[in-house]
Amino acid sequence: MEWIKLLPETVILDNEGLSLEDVVHIVKNDYKLKLSENVKEKVILARKAIEKAVESGEKIYGITTGFGALRDIVIPEKDATKLQTNLIRSHCVGVGEPARDDFVKAMMVLRVTALAQGYSGCQLKTLENLVQMINKNVLPIIPIKGSVGASGDLAQLSHMVLAMIGEGENNLKFEGKIYNAKEGMQKAGIPITKLSYKEGLALNNGAQYSAGIACIVLHEASNLIKNAEIAAALSLEALKAASQQFDDRIHQARFHPGQIEVAKNLRSYTKGSVFVKKHESLFTCEVENCGYYYDRKMGDASQNVPPNTEFINLPDDWICPNCGGSKADFEKQWPKIQDDYSIRCTPQVLGPVRETLAHCCDTISREINAATDNPLIFITKKDPLEFDIYSGGNFHGEPIAMVMDYLSIAMAEVGNISERRCAKLIDDKRNDGLSLFLIPRSELGLNSGFMMPQYTAAALVSENKVLSAPASVDSIPTSDEAEDHVSMSPIAARKTAKILENLQYILAIEMMLAVQAIDLRCEIQKIPHEKALGKQTYNAYKTIRSVVPKLVHDRIIYPDINKIVELVRAGSIVIDLDS
């Protein structure tokens, strides 16, 4: 799945709806949103149906009745509009810190797409007010907690509508300042929305808070899986991984497309590498600063060993022609036929993550254009106007909850395997001859080097394991048992976002350790980086080293981690891969 797509700076919402890429461009790149004439026609027609239904005096949920457990109470026509405003006021019960701006804006975009389907019956001017807020970056301040994802994300969407109707204190953000809603809307030149029949219900009934977070999370996960492959490739270089374990024939034999793709990417990233070779052929002297190599197929560099001589048959008194090291300096790595799982099984772990991500994108791509409020209006004939109004449960957030739980497990696994490579990189018993904690002369004990970043990675991995426990399996009845099964979709989406935030740091730590190990490896074997590494791993190395220098002695490390995290978030390492 690729997110880089050239789109006009205005995205037109038509009968086809929006794509995930459209939503991300509107939210992240401030593209404008415009309603097509076809969409406007559908909205106007649905509104006429609502007005006709009210005139008929028919008992219709949420239009001429109360809500939830109050569904059987008929509301007099004179109070029908007041009912909608009261709905919003009473449902603004969110708590906690404000939700991220991109989460809020995505929620607003998705609420527009839901109403634009023509099943909700809101006024066109109400929908256009919401579009104006999106285009001018007028963002309600939405408390992050308080929804169970059942009748939709009622609390968060109600806070959004509260700002639209000009009520609430310090609950609207515009041009970097926080305003009371009425003042902020006036400042932005957007009319205060006056709710009419069904409009409060149309605006706050749906899982767009959950789905909005999901859109942003999927965008970030797509970037992170690419960064995870790059981090792994740098570790392959640093740890002199065996190239044959990524041979396409191995992965084709298991049929999984994600696994095949990851193995292909790792081969591409390390193509031309001196370090990523077939293990059973190449051996190097492990004496510090030597770098002499012996190839079972070709003999040693100076031909002191006859070609095709088996390494195991070298004479006991054999010494390295370069540094005088003993046969034992070669024997300690014999035979090294395959790597540990955190290296060898990278395609088998990251491949399923790619497939999980693709499945989640398919589900959310459908959800972002769904009509999710209740009841829904179905026009059967335009002229004379005939319609059906049916109550249902499209507001239930289960589809979002399940895929977000699925994605949280997958992305936690990305961190798990990355942390294991981090531990290997700093372990002088497992890192193929590099120093303990990747610091020169670690035996003196004066410098701790990279002892501690792995602690941080371990802490984040542990937290992610807790966060990856599914939210969707829980349900607590609400609304006097009328809403007796709920999805917990906003919790599933929010914790997935937190897992990705932690994963950014884990991958940054692996990259930081890997480039340090590569520096040490190149020094030992006296090979320039550009000749030692694959073209793409070398480009990734350069990008990281452009913001973080090599560690020679102990210094404060957290700024280095933060700088690499910024590269990861921005996708800079991915973009620079082929430069």
How far apart CA 85 and CA 400 sit, in angstroms, is 28
Q: What are phi and psi of 508, to 5 degrees?
A: -60, -40
On the CB side of 100, how many CA atoms lie within 13 Å of its CA? 16
How far apart CA 410 and CA 120 sit, in angstroms, is 36
How far apart CA 221 and CA 411 sit, in angstroms, is 8
How far apart CA 53 and CA 34 sit, in angstroms, is 29
CB proximity list for 136: less than 8 A, separation 6 or greater:
174, 188, 189, 190
Query: Using a CB cutoff of 8 Å and minimum separation of 24, what contacts does 528-534 make?
Result: 531/274, 532/237, 532/273, 532/274, 532/275, 533/237, 533/270, 533/272, 533/273, 533/274, 533/275, 534/233, 534/237, 534/269, 534/270, 534/271, 534/272, 534/273, 534/276
Q: Amino acid identity, residue 343?
A: I
Cis amide leading into 490 (omega within 30): no
Is-contact 195 149, C-beta < 8 A?
no
Is-contact 292 301, C-beta < 8 A?
yes
Strand order in the sheet with 139-140: 139-140, 172-174, 177-179
Q: Among this protein's residues, is 61 annotated catalytic?
A: yes
Q: Amino acid identity, residue 267?
A: R
**Which residue among 31, 61, 406, 538 is the active-site one?**
61
Token output for 376:
């829904």
How far apart CA 163 and CA 469 sit, in angstroms, is 34
Is residue 447 classed exposed, middle or buried when 0-12, 13-18 and 19+ CB atoms within 10 A define those classes? middle
**Cα-Cα end-to-end distance for the chain:** 21
How far apart CA 544 and CA 559 sit, in angstroms, is 13
Token output for 433:
């001859």
Nearest to residue 490, comparing CAs of 24, 27, 107? 107
Q: Which residue has the tokens 């007796």?
A: 484
Token output for 335:
């035979």
Task: Kindly list the distances between the CA atom of residue 93 and the CA atoms of 90, 144, 451, in Å, as whole numbers in the listed order.
Answer: 7, 11, 46
Residues serving a catalytic function are: 61
